[in-house]
């Protein structure tokens, strides 16, 4: 006979067991289904690879997603500043509305009809990252990843790894699409060509978490695959795919979409006629640059140089760390090295120490002008709005000015950063090991191009890869002052740059010089 206490204990144990097992059952089912799709669908049967190789590559992505989770769980333990957690946690606020107010949920998920004060105060203001602390009129790309997580929560039971699994699959699909377009021009390289898309450490690692990189790779792959296919088969439905994928890039990584435009136009022009390929790409770049610069005459607030300069300034501010405080009428900022100037009064209220220096913004009327308070005598009570830690890999940066001269002056340094940092003596952080290894690969490829240069088989593909990758790397180097962020953002450019260099190398000459390389399937 069971006592009441034993029955209660049994129910508690059963409930605890369900909490542990239920979220993992769908994860295992989804995993099995995705592996089945990769093995069966013709799309995932990649030229030059054995039938089971894509399964192995996808398994590597799952392992990388677990490693990324481990880094942000046990190494970087501050969940409030972790990209894999902060948008995931915010999405719960949106998903909770599905059960109580389904109409509100679908409004927020679609973005249609969500611009009323009730939804704003009931849901968006409860999220920590729906509104950006640093807003420079560029799109808030946090919204799409929060919405992605809010949708997946409907069938994930809140299991983070189910979200990561789906993101891995989306990124893997995008990479397969890119591989299918570009492999034919480097098929003689066999394993080396596949390694550029499926084995680059940073690309595999950073695109395997619940972050925007997975959605970006899906959008990039779908645009490239359908654009190049449409050039040859003219199937109208590809335009729909291109538009949908461009929309995805627009809301995830706008600069990737911007870099695609001149690169694609130049490639298609050269595919029609390969004569004067270099000149054609240069003409397209100049015309696209002129078109971009003309925007300020019609919409001064959307001047591209001004927006990029503001983006860099905001990135530097956030990376430098500090504490933002707010009162009824003012937002104040205390630098990270001046944290002692905050004096706690009681509960959650603070004073700024008498005699301290700080910056502040008046909330009314426009919240625009930055003011400097010297030798403070104000006794206003503040609450903490946000407390940003200083980035450990912050690089010394000069502020960009919204002029062509300023951008040209800083471009060489920016491109060097994006290409070759971290340098060997900067390996103080274990997270720099992967990008440092890739820098070695880059230098090795440059060396091989110099001594084993061959004829480029496809000027159009070569020009596309080189133009697209260098444009991305230049923009990233200009606006990103944090080395850790830079090595993550450049994953969109790396495979294209490496592929362009691979196309320049004469494999036959190389194998004659070092025959032992053939043993590795290179």
Length, in residues, of the chain: 522
Cis peptide bond N-terminal to 162, omega within 30: no
Residue 353: closest CA among 373, 370, 367, 368 = 373
Question: What's the CA gap between 358 and 334, in Å, rounded?
Answer: 6
For 98, other C-beta atoms within 10 Å of its C-beta total: 18
Q: What angle do CA 296, 299, 302 make, to 5 degrees?
A: 70
Beta bridge partners of 322: 335, 388
Q: What angle do CA 478, 484, 486 make, to 5 degrees?
A: 30
- DSSP state for residue 375 in the 8-state scheme: S
Name 119's Cβ contacts closer than 8 Å, sequence gap at least 6.
104, 107, 108
- DSSP state for residue 382 in the 8-state scheme: B
Per-residue pLDDT of the chain (522 residues; tens, 9 = 90+): 444 444 343 434 443 444 445 567 888 999 999 999 999 999 999 988 888 999 999 999 999 999 999 988 887 777 767 788 888 989 999 999 998 899 999 999 988 888 888 888 888 888 888 876 555 445 557 889 999 999 999 999 889 999 999 999 999 999 999 999 999 998 888 788 899 899 999 999 999 999 999 999 999 999 999 999 999 888 999 999 999 999 999 988 889 999 999 999 999 999 998 889 999 999 999 999 999 888 888 887 778 888 888 888 777 777 777 777 777 777 777 777 777 777 787 767 788 888 777 777 676 655 555 666 666 667 777 877 777 777 767 777 788 888 889 899 999 999 999 999 888 777 777 778 888 889 999 999 999 999 988 888 899 999 999 999 999 999 999 998 888 888 899 999 999 999 999 999 988 888 888 777 766 666
Burial string for 263-299 (b: 16+ CB within 10 Å, else e) reads bbbbbbbbbeeeeebeebbeebbeebeeebeebeeee
Angular region, 76: left φ>0, alpha ψ -120 to 50, beta rest? beta
> Domain segments of the chain: what residues?
23-248, 254-310+396-520, 322-388
Burial of 50 (0-12, 13-18, 19+ CB in 10 A): exposed
């Amino acid at each position: 006979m069971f006592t009441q206490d034993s029955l209660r204990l049994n129910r508690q144990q059963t409930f605890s067991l369900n909490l542990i097992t239920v979220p993992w059952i769908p994860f295992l089912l989804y995993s099995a289904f995705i592996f089945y799709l990769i093995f069966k669908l013709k799309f995932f049967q990649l030229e030059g690879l054995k039938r089971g190789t894509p399964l192995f590559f996808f398994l590597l992505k799952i392992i990388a997603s677990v490693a990324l989770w481990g880094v942000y769980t046990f190494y970087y333990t501050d969940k409030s500043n972790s990209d894999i957690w902060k948008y995931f946690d915010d999405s719960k606020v949106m998903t909770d509305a599905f059960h109580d107010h389904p109409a509100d949920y679908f409004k927020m998920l679609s973005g249609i009809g969500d611009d009323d004060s009730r939804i704003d105060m009931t849901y968006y203001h409860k999220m920590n990252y729906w509104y950006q602390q640093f807003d420079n009129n560029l799109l808030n790309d946090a919204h799409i990843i929060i919405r992605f997580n809010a949708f997946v929560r409907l069938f994930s039971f809140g299991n983070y790894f189910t979200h990561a699994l789906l993101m891995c699959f989306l990124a893997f699909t995008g990479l397969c699409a890119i591989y299918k377009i570009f492999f034919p021009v480097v098929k003689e390289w066999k394993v080396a060509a596949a390694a550029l898309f499926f084995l680059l450490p940073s690309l595999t690692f950073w695109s395997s978490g619940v972050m925007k990189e997975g959605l970006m790779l899906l959008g990039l792959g779908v645009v490239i695959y359908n654009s190049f296919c449409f050039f040859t088969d003219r199937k109208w439905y590809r335009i729909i795919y291109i538009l949908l994928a461009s929309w995805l890039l627009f809301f995830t990584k706008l600069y990737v979409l911007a870099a695609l435009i001149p690169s694609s136009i130049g490639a298609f022009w050269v595919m029609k006629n390969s004569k004067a390929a270099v000149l054609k790409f240069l003409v397209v770049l100049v015309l696209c640059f002129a078109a971009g610069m003309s925007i300020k005459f019609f919409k001064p607030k959307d001047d591209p140089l001004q927006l990029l300069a503001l983006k860099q300034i905001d990135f530097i501010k956030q990376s430098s760390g500090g504490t933002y405080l707010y009162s009824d009428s003012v937002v104040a900022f205390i630098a990270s090295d001046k944290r002692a100037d905050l004096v706690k009064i009681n509960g959650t209220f603070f004073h700024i120490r008498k005699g301290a220096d700080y910056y502040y913004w008046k909330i009314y009327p426009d919240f625009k002008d930055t003011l400097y308070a010297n030798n403070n005598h104000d006794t206003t009570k503040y609450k903490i709005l946000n407390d940003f830690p200083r980035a450990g890999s912050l690089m010394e940066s000069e502020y960009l000015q919204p002029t062509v001269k300023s951008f040209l002056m800083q471009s060489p340094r920016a491109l060097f950063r994006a290409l070759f940092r971290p340098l060997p003596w900067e390996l103080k952080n274990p997270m720099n090991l992967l990008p440092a290894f890739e820098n070695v690969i880059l230098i090795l490829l440059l060396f091989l191009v110099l001594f084993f240069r061959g004829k480029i088989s496809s000027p159009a593909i070569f020009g596309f890869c080189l133009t697209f990758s260098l444009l991305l790397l230049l923009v990233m180097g200009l606006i990103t002052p944090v080395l850790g962020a830079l090595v993550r953002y450049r994953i969109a450019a790396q495979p294209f740059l490496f592929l362009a260099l691979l196309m320049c190398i004469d494999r036959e000459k190389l194998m004659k010089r070092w025959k032992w390389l053939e043993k590795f399937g290179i």
